[in-house]
Structure 1
């Protein structure tokens, strides 16, 4: 197995394969948007389920409250994520305009910044000057380097609409799982709640497995970590519903 993996890596690192891979434009990561929407959607709907169970509401109330909040909160979170990513994009654009202006007004100062940045990386003497000359000979490369090194801004362009859409879809699709048992016509409310708890736990664990698989981390550890974090939030929602049961009695 190890030899097969090493051979696959060698194949990926052949010159022609490296060139083909580097020619492809990098894509903004969507896993964070998916995980954000999925976990929050599952927690939100399970909070409705646990709160309604603690208050003694019938299944029809859980369905109405659950799906109405699922859509409304999912849209709200998608808009929030859109605005967050859009703000980052605007910050990157403003930083780019600043660096463009600085290069026009004080090119020697900007060139010295490049020099000191790469001197700190271990370059020196003629090698350092060659690096500085190469970078500063290409204006776009010059600006991109300054954005990455001085501002920590990635060269991968952000896509606010895509981020918002991924968050919304993950929120609605994954967040609907804890509500599925309540769509069943038959069965006691207690059984539906316990089945909802099981679905929420499986959902959190599956999200963790997805993260672990994408990032190359141990699957069981990643699944358990997300289950612990998501389950803690879900438990908090259950405790709130249970405590409010005594303060707001339902006839």
Structure 2
């Protein structure tokens, strides 16, 4: 029985892991920043929760990627299917973690680098939008889809998550403040 998936060249073999990690890193971290900001918590809370979430969620994503890949490999072996050549679950997990950390740090950079009196959330939103569009554009290079469509798709998904997190933080703060 042959593998029904077309083989990917070396650069595309781990694209799912990298896009998945980068996209989730950006969206998750900015959602945390948006939720904490919506809840009107301090700058220290943004940094503490943001950085803790960045590393914990990045590790969780990598562990999930590893376990999912290993489960898929075992299931294919049990069915007698051919495995993808040179596809390492550990490499996929490492790439997911690295992409998550690097891309996920972007929404926190204004809080780490800009002056405390600056509009930090606005800068974080701009940096996040640029990172999402950038990952979308890189994805388009590999998938051969429209660069504009890929960037807008990433922006829309990330924007929805941010609005949702901000609204939840705002509502929780309103309920607690009563």
Taking the TM superposition and a 5 Å limit, the aligned residue runs for 1:113-192 are 147=81, 155-184=84-113, 186-188=115-117, 191-192=119-120
> In 1, Cα distance between the equivalents of 2:175 and 2:86?
50
> In 2, Cα distance between the equivalents of 1:32 and 1:185?
33
> In 1, Cα distance between the equivalents of 2:123 and 2:51?
18
> In 2, Cα distance between the equivalents of 1:230 and 1:42?
8
Report how far residue 32 of structure 1 moved. Answer: 0.8
Q: What residue in structure 2 maps to residue 47 of structure 1?
A: 31
Q: What residue in structure 2 maps to residue 200 of structure 1?
A: 128
Q: What residue in structure 2 maps to residue 16 of structure 1?
A: none
Q: What residue in structure 2 maps to residue 112 of structure 1?
A: none
Secondary structure in 2 matching 1:156: coil
Q: Which runs of 5+ in 1 are unaligned?
A: 1-24, 97-146, 148-152
> In 2, Cα distance between the equivalents of 1:45 and 1:204?
12
> In 2, Cα distance between the equivalents of 1:26 and 1:89?
19
Matching residue within 53, 63, 73 for 1:79: 63
Q: Which runs of 5+ in 2 are unaligned?
A: 1-7
Matching residue within 62, 65, 69 for 2:46: 62
Please say if residues 82 and 164 of structure 1, whose CA atoms lie closer than 8 Å, have aligned partners that are also in contact. Answer: yes
Task: List, as ranges, runs of 4+ consecutive aligned residues in structure 1 with deviation greater than 6 Å.
Answer: none
Please say if residues 89 and 158 of structure 1, whose CA atoms lie closer than 8 Å, have aligned partners that are also in contact. Answer: no
Report how far residue 154 of structure 1 moved. Answer: 5.7
Secondary structure in 1 matching 2:177: coil
Report how far residue 42 of structure 1 moved. Answer: 1.1
Find the structure with the greater CA-based Rg: 1
TM-score, normalised with respect to structure 2: 0.87
> In 1, Cα distance between the equivalents of 2:64 and 2:166?
26
Please say if residues 46 and 234 of structure 1, whose CA atoms lie closer than 8 Å, have aligned partners that are also in contact. Answer: yes
Aligned length: 170
> In 2, Cα distance between the equivalents of 1:248 and 1:165?
40
Secondary structure in 2 matching 1:248: helix
RMSD: 2.1
Please say if residues 25 and 54 of structure 2, whose CA atoms lie closer than 8 Å, have aligned partners that are also in contact. Answer: yes
Matching residue within 165, 168, 177 for 1:240: 168
Matching residue within 226, 231, 237 for 2:154: 226
TM-score, normalised with respect to structure 1: 0.63
Please give the per-residue CA displacement for 1:138-171, whole angstroms capped at 9, x wherever unaligned.
Answer: xxxxxxxxx3xxxxx6643531101111110111
